[in-house]
Amino acid sequence: MNRQEKEAQVEFIKEKFKNSKSLIFTGYRGLKVGEISDLRSKLYESQSSLKVVKNRMAKIALKDLGINDVDKFFNNPTAIAYTDVDPVDPAKILVGFAKDHPHLKLRGGFLAGQVLSLMDIEMLSKLPTREVLYSRMLSSMLAPASNTVGVLAAVSRGLVTAIAAIRDKKEKLN
């Protein structure tokens, strides 16, 4: 590769990672082509991608983007999973894939200005999806209204039950 091709590659990497919400650095040595393709298709379904990068060019691109302290993740051939949608999805997919394929080595990541350790990525993978979090938040917001309706309905239900009991008692007396 000549200098212009390398600069173009660095620009391409910067463009891909510029709007990414999360980056997860992995080692893929020992994975078969079919396994990498399977991983890429799983990531694609969740609007994420996997890019095999040259370490030196990735370091330059990330440094230009202001992402520092990630040099330690580039010690062997590296692939970077990234997404501009939900940062939990690629973490879930990669952690699950790594359990079934021991050659995939998660090294660390970068999310919201923070460097992620392997433990951070595992914790991130255990978070519920964005849709589940939205539904939980909505149900929490609706709970006071639902509870108020329940209490008001209980008062009228109690009144109807009392009237029915009085009616039944009068019918038994007659």
Q: Are 70 and 116 in contact (CB under 8 A)?
A: no
When computed from its CA atoms, the radius of gyration of the chain, rounded to whole angstroms, is 27
pLDDT averaged over the chain? Answer: 83
Give the residue from 64, 97, 102, 58 showing the smallest Cα distance to 80: 58
Query: Given this model, what pLDDT does residue 139 score?
Result: 80
Query: Given this model, what pLDDT does residue 149 score?
Result: 73
Q: What is the pTM (predicted TM-score) of this model?
A: 0.69
Q: Are 89 and 48 in contact (CB under 8 A)?
A: yes
Give the residue from 67, 171, 87, 78 showing the smallest Cα distance to 129: 87
Core vs surface per residue 90-119: b (16+ CB within 10 A) or e: bbbbbbebbeebeebbbbbbbbeeebbeee
Q: Residue 91's Cα: distance from chain center in Å?
A: 6
pLDDT digits (tens, 9 = 90+) for 142-170: 777 777 777 777 777 777 888 888 888 88
| Ramachandran angles phi, psi of 65, nearest 5° | -85, -5
In the three-class reduction of DSSP (H, G, I as helix; E, B as strand; rest coil), residue 85 is classed as coil
pLDDT digits (tens, 9 = 90+) for 69-93: 777 888 888 888 988 888 888 888 8
Give the residue from 60, 75, 50 showing the smallest Cα distance to 7: 60
Specify burial of residue 54 (Cβ count, 10 A radius: 0-12, 13-18, 19+).
middle
pLDDT digits (tens, 9 = 90+) for 19-47: 888 888 898 888 889 988 998 999 898 88
Q: Are 110 and 23 in contact (CB under 8 A)?
A: yes
For the segment(s) 3-127, the CATH number from 3.90.1530.10, 3.30.420.40, 3.30.70.1730, 3.40.50.2300 is 3.30.70.1730
Residue extents of the structural domains in the chain: 3-127, 128-174
